[in-house]
Amino acid sequence: MSNDIQTQRAGAPGAPEQADRKQAAPRYGNAALTPPVDVVEDAGGITLYADLPGVSRENLNLHVEAETLTIEAESGLTVPDGLKTSHTEVGLGRFRRVFTLSKELDTEKVSAELAQGVLTLRIPKAEHAKPRRIEVQVA
């Protein structure tokens, strides 16, 4: 899967020691996982739902610059003291996703909520892009 960076199984030839996860982190450099995102559009704008497991509000950064939305986050998932992992599916806790936004969206009115590992972003349409009814006058 292109979204995942997988580590080798502990104890396998060439596998890094998993006891100290902080030591293994530099091997990924600036790598980041691409969180899965659902985008729903309605008459009033768009809503994005991004899966960010283990991410707290303090470790979440949202940026809107011109027509670009950037989501960056760090997961707080760690191995508890005294435990050692025997297998790690995803050994990286950094997420990053970039979107190009339509000029029809009002980036000044973005709202965001993070609950149970799901980020919900609401971006309303700009007034000039909203559907409107035109009144017809009878002459």
Least confident interval from 11-15, 99-103, 112-116: 11-15
Residue 47 pLDDT level (bands cut at 50, 70, 90): very high
Q: Which of 61, 80, 79 is nearest to 71 (CA)?
A: 61
Query: Model-level pTM?
Result: 0.68
Residue 103 has pLDDT above 80, yes or no: yes
Range in 22-31, 62-71, 98-107 with the lowest mean pLDDT: 22-31
- Over range 19-36, report the average pLDDT: 64
* Model confidence at 24: pLDDT above 90: no
Confidence at residue 17, expressed as pLDDT on a 0 to 100 scale: 46
Q: What is the pLDDT of residues 53-88, one digit of tens each?
A: 889 999 999 999 989 999 999 987 777 888 888 877
Whether 21 and 78 have beta carbons less than 8 Å apart is answered as yes
Closest CA to 68 of 101, 35, 102: 101
Name which of 45, 44, 22, 39 is nearest 97 in CA terms.
39
* Bigger pLDDT: 47 vs 15: 47
